Structure 1
Amino acid sequence: MTAAPSSHRPLRADARRNRRRVLDAARAAFEADGNLAQMEDIAKRAGVGVGTIYRHFPTKQALIDELTAQWMADGAAKADDALAEPDPWDGVALFVRRSAEIMLRNRGLREVFGDVGRLFDEEAPVQNHDLHRKVAALLDRAHAAGVLRPDVGVNEFRALMCGLAVAITNTPPDAHQTYADVILQGLKTP
């Protein structure tokens, strides 16, 4: 689900451009500062007034939800790349390692994934069924090849990815590779 302006009428061209500028500025701000990003700073980056942000996103959380939807769509694209790998294990490894690299650069994403309860809630305001379906296919393919532990399903994998996000927070820059490798070692069939 994505946040939308309060009106159901199509946006004028200038309003669409402003909304895009706000989202681009917000994405950069939240990637750098996470929840500490301020609406005033986002408005300044976007070259709009704060009121413009609130016309499109009535609350900071609505803006975060929109960004979360974008980040999850990016994750679905990463899963596509992983599914394109001919070797099922290489696909899982590619997804985990790329996710770790992106989490390293994106504080906002780490904070969203660090809030495990929110992501696991069936009533969460942001859901991405495409990402869920593609990750399930990635894991199913690895299970069928016998390279992924049989007791790891989508929920367990999601929990590990959330843990990866938390582990990457406030650690040395290269530690994300170690954490990804440890997760992969634990996922592989003994």
Structure 2
Amino acid sequence: MSAAGDRPLRADARRNRARVLDAADEIFATKGVGASTEEVAKRAGVGVGTVFRHFPTKEALLEAVLVARFGRLAEEARGLVGADDAGAAFFGFLAAVVDQSASKNAFAGALAQAGVDVEAALGRAGAELWEALGVLLTRAQAAGAVRPDAQVDQVVAVLVGASRAADYAPSAVPLILDGLRPR
């Protein structure tokens, strides 16, 4: 859909939008959320007007990048559902989420500061991630790799804590995640 959501985008506009999102993800991850939309446009190989045609504000661009990241994480989690070692798949996925947490936290913080309800903005992408995480959790519990009393909302809370800890004491992350293992 277009930025206004009123009609589907042409193929070239879809490609430009995807290039802008990829460039924004890369630029904001490496240079921080303070990087300019001009830098994003240059990296995407488009004019700044194209960026603003798809994303009327920098916050809209940050939100789209964050939603796309959550979508990719949900897709990654769904891809791990058939893994032979359910425990390794579960804990590997958690570690990957924590590894990406610094830029995700920066995006979420900038959006919250701009008055965006981040949880509402994530909407379907967030729900899909929780659902996929729940399936990974259930499989890991069935394999005996995760304590049976752990629930998906608790796992999300552990992920949030581990993600925050990664900024201050990265060596604490394995200890935090080990709390999910059976006693």
TM-score, normalised by the number of residues in structure 1:
0.76
1:149 shift after superposition: 2.8
> Which of the numbers 163, 178, 182 marks the counterpart of 2:175?
182
1:163 shift after superposition: 2.2
Alignment coverage as a number of residue pairs: 177
Aligned-pair identity in percent equals 37
Q: 1:114 and 1:159, CA in 2 relative to 1: closer, same or farther beyond 3 A?
A: farther
CA distance in 2: counterparts of 1:7 and 1:75, whole angstroms: 24
1:96 shift after superposition: 1.7
Which amino acid in the other structure matches residue 48 of structure 1? V
1:139 shift after superposition: 1.3
TM-score, normalised by the number of residues in structure 2:
0.79
Q: 1:146 and 1:161, CA in 2 relative to 1: closer, same or farther beyond 3 A?
A: same
Kindly indicate whether the alpha-carbon contact (under 8 Å) linking 2:67 and 2:121 is maintained by their aligned counterparts in 1: no
1:114 shift after superposition: 6.8
1:135 shift after superposition: 0.6
Kindly indicate whether the alpha-carbon contact (under 8 Å) linking 1:114 and 1:163 is maintained by their aligned counterparts in 2: no
Runs of 5+ unmatched residues, structure 2: none
1:18 shift after superposition: 2.4
Match of 1:126 in 2: 122
Within 5 Å, give how 1:90-129 maps onto structure 2.
90-103=88-101, 107-112=102-107, 124-127=120-123, 128=125, 129=127
CA distance in 2: counterparts of 1:165 and 1:70, whole angstroms: 19
The Cα offsets for residues 125-164 of structure 1, whole Å up to 9 and x where unpaired, read as 1122322111111112233344323443111211221222
CA distance in 2: counterparts of 1:91 and 1:143, whole angstroms: 12
Within 5 Å, give how 1:1-190 maps onto structure 2.
4-6=2-4, 8-103=6-101, 107-112=102-107, 124-127=120-123, 128=125, 129-169=127-167, 175=170, 178-190=171-183
CA distance in 2: counterparts of 1:51 and 1:122, whole angstroms: 26
1:30 shift after superposition: 1.5
Between 14-23 and 60-69, the greater mean CA deviation after superposition: 14-23
Kindly indicate whether the alpha-carbon contact (under 8 Å) linking 1:114 and 1:162 is maintained by their aligned counterparts in 2: no
Helix, strand or coil at the partner of 2:121: coil
1:186 shift after superposition: 0.9
